[in-house]
Amino acid sequence: MKPLNNQPLTRQRKIIHVDCDCFYAAIEMRDDPRLQGKPLAVGGSADRRGVIATCNYEARSYGVRSAMASGQALKLCPDLLIVKPRMDAYKAASREIHAIFRDYTELIEPLSLDEAYLDVSDSPHFAGSATRIAQEIRRRVSQQLHITVSAGVAPNKFLAKIASDWNKPNGLFVITPDQVEDFVAALPVGKLHGVGKVTAEKLARQGIRHCSDLREWPKLALVREFGSFGERLWSLARGIDERAVQTDSRRQSISVENTFEQDLPDLAACLAQLPELLGELERRMARLDGSYRPGKPFVKVKFHDFSQTTLEQSGARRDLDSYQLLLGAAHARGNKPVRLLGVGVRLVDLRGRHEQLELFAP
């Protein structure tokens, strides 16, 4: 194994990213075979301004997507069946899947109920073959839970996550160390973690459409153009990602952000976006385990000139009225057109509190 782009030689990691295929919808179709083959979504009802949590591939063919308002989804697909989430069923299935993971490694970083990173660098199974471990995990999930998962195998988390999406649904894609350089060079910059539509358009205006284009820019030039994110872009364009799989990373907050194609001109336009953002926030909150308690709500506003502000309030509720008040106060700090809105909640780590109590108990 040779160093990539003059990077120091380190122990090669073997990372698997596992992602369930339309997880909530897959559980619903498994438990009610009458739903098979029909456009199906899991989410809130349209008459109560509900939001789609996830949908199956039949629904996606009509343009239905997660975080979409249920009313809009029904306009795209009038025959769409929308069922209420059954979080207990999804959590039970997630526990079964994680039990399978633990047969191969204890180095597991859950991202949500339906996806996780696994570090199998030192796993003794299948003579240390990450590819064969991923194949076996996929086979066992299919056999035991009767749903499908896609998996990506790569030397780091960044590439493993891209790989898991490469052959979805029900797919496996492997990027070996000697394939990294050529694979990443051809990768569109829109595939890079953190590059949304607006950043991709900004890169395109600079003539940067693929990572091979990005590699032509010195690191300092990228930092001048994109701030601290420029350094991350420089590394990702070379397939470099040193992040370890975090087996016990405890969240400080949970949030939802949206960058708009057209700047929102005033506060009224911003307020109109809140229900959809809050619907997605509630969906993400529902995926947390019981070791967290929601704390202070907060909003983030990034104005058209890239200045931004975040405002939170202790004791405030997590309802629409409270977020409207927070957003109004945050918007007044700049009173300019808005390019990005975010809503979130600080989290209280109940497990950490319990451990502290035990530590200091007499």
Specify the DSSP class assigned to residue 210. B
Determine whether the annotation assigns residue 19 to a binding site.
Answer: yes
d(CA 124, CA 355): 33
Question: 159 in the Ramachandran plot: left (φ > 0), alpha (ψ -120 to 50) or beta?
Answer: alpha
Q: Does residue 309 sit in helix, strand or coil?
A: strand
Backbone angles phi and psi of 311, in degrees to 5: -135, 130
The number of helix segments (H) and strand segments (E) in the chain equals 14, 12
Nearest Cα residue to 192 out of 226, 147, 237? 237
| Residue positions annotated with a catalytic role | 115
Q: How far is CA 250 from CA 138, 349, 356, in A?
A: 27, 8, 15
DSSP strand E in 30-71: where?
40-43, 52-55
> Edge-to-edge strands of the sheet including 108-112?
108-112, 115-119, 15-20, 149-154, 172-174
d(CA 276, CA 272): 9
Helix axis angle for 87-102 and 130-145, nearest 10°, is 140
d(CA 278, CA 288): 16
Nearest Cα residue to 269 out of 326, 327, 329? 327
Binding site per annotation, positions for Mg(2+): 19, 114
Binding site per annotation, positions: 19, 114
